[in-house]
Structure 1
């Protein structure tokens, strides 16, 4: 009875064994390779079983909008022709990897003599990029008691870097309250955004501030910038305001007094004033008691 059961089980599993033997299968030693930019990347694709002596091999880069051939018709395509090669017939090696090479690559094998003639495997290539010098923004001067925010940002590195701030080359904690050495300060550091925020700056916060961006590949610094904390002269400001108000008040009083005294009113001309009429050239006029009117001089030439 037991022998019959074993024989029946073997007959049931025999088609599965036969299918497995005749099917092309692929394997990868690393489906998620991570490499540093400008290094060498190996995309492993290995044929484990096939009865086809010369299967057709293709590599494609799968994009969100389009698919690009890397290896097709037994030739490397495009930019990969100058910096890529096949290794052990199916694996793909890319030299001088750039950040543009990151993405999903598909290895496809077609074996016409196998029962299952096609197989494929996806390789997700990640390229790590070292950070470049971050851009830092530091206020030059801030009055005591006011808030201040310092910025540090870098956009090239991958994975995204974390940030650390320094004052006079000394590392600042993420929170000034956690370190007794900085108990007279009131700041917090956000390592993800790169911001250093002071709620109320003090004289002791004066110094040269620099920032470092770090990821799995390396780090980079920004140039140190000076921030000066100065005392706000309240008495001087109040005194200056009072002087300005006093000047304005005296000016106003002076103008009012001038108006009252009539210094800004023009005098009217006398209505009986006589203006001698203009005389034509070459004519003189005289008046006698007898005639009671004007007559020409004897020198007048007609």
Structure 2
């Protein structure tokens, strides 16, 4: 029984020695805080490791887009067998702070960062037979981008007593912008509760609209990189005034049409009176008409007598003239 502690003690000492012996494990260190870099600048993703570098040493940097699992990572560069192999869409902008990375520094430099570079970066060191740890470090990078010019929109019933919703949104901006609406001009201050805005979604709710709600509204999108704005004009209408105006226009149009009709009717009657008669009724008598019962011959005799009567003054004149001549015996 006294010999039993010996084997247990030896095993414990061997295990402890295995843990503290150099070259038996790979330890990777990366910053615990997320990293942020302004767009267009160069980002340095710090990564260090401790291991006994051998012939099988390998380093890999890879990238995962936000919201995706680590298993979907895409490689950025490899270092193995003394050679560096950039790869992927970031190959031309990716490099190592120290090359070769065999002195415990594996920091990645990414030049001219873009908004699409935001995500998680993996620094992984392999050095067989050091498999005691996974040799993996994760760094979250955020590329800071000023807000792009937002788009302003409106919806709702833009009438007195109605409600309107104004929207504002920027397509780009990191971190996500906050939105603030202001009513330009010298309009009275809206009643409490009639103007409510959400700085996160960029929506402004206007209730119980009045004529003083009309005017220009400006939305300003802001983050730590800058700001941008857009404007829209709200035109609140009064339905009752619109109906009165419509009725008045209808009455005036009716009066105008009636006046035109009366004018045309009077003109028609006036032109009709001026026009001469071209037809004769049944009771009209012609001077040369023959009365019923009188023959054509009788009519001719009457015409002859009439002719003689018309010539009679001439005959009398002749006779008178003859009577004044001296008579010879």
Please indicate, yes or no, whether the TM-score normalized by the shorter chain is above 0.5. yes
Q: How does 1:39-50 map to 2 (within 5 A)?
A: 39-48=41-50, 50=51
Q: How does 1:58-207 map to 2 (within 5 A)?
A: 58-62=60-64, 64=68, 66-72=72-78, 73=80, 74-88=84-98, 89=101, 90-112=106-128, 114=130, 116=132, 119-138=135-154, 142-168=158-184, 181-183=189-191, 186-207=194-215
Q: Flag the 1:30–1:92 CA change in 2: closer, same or farther, 3 A.
A: farther
**Partner Cα separation in structure 2 for residue 184 and residue 165 of structure 1:** 16
Taking only aligned residues, the RMSD between alpha carbons, in angstroms, comes to 3.8
TM-score by length of 1: 0.63
Q: 1:130-158, CA deviations, whole angstroms, 9 ceiling, x for partnerless residues?
A: 2100011257x944323222221222223
Native 8 Å contact 1:111 1:117 kept in 2: no
Q: Which has the higher strand share?
A: 1
Q: Flag the 1:155–1:121 CA change in 2: closer, same or farther, 3 A.
A: same
**Partner Cα separation in structure 2 for residue 159 and residue 25 of structure 1:** 32
* Aligned match for 1:220, one of 213, 228, 240: 228
Offset, 1:28: 1.0
**Partner Cα separation in structure 2 for residue 237 and residue 13 of structure 1:** 101
Native 8 Å contact 1:185 1:205 kept in 2: no
Native 8 Å contact 2:177 2:222 kept in 1: yes
- Structure whose CA Rg is larger: 2
Native 8 Å contact 1:110 1:117 kept in 2: no
Q: Flag the 1:245–1:145 CA change in 2: closer, same or farther, 3 A.
A: farther
Matched length: 234
The equivalent of 1:268 in structure 2 is none
Native 8 Å contact 1:164 1:213 kept in 2: yes
**Partner Cα separation in structure 1 for residue 123 and residue 36 of structure 2:** 18
Q: Flag the 1:68–1:182 CA change in 2: closer, same or farther, 3 A.
A: same
**Partner Cα separation in structure 1 for residue 189 and residue 87 of structure 2:** 61
What's the secondary structure of 1:12's corresponding residue? helix
Native 8 Å contact 1:23 1:117 kept in 2: yes
Native 8 Å contact 2:74 2:88 kept in 1: no
TM-score by length of 2: 0.59
**Partner Cα separation in structure 2 for residue 136 and residue 151 of structure 1:** 6
My pick for the range that moved more, 88-97 or 234-243, is 234-243
Native 8 Å contact 1:185 1:201 kept in 2: no
Offset, 1:198: 1.7
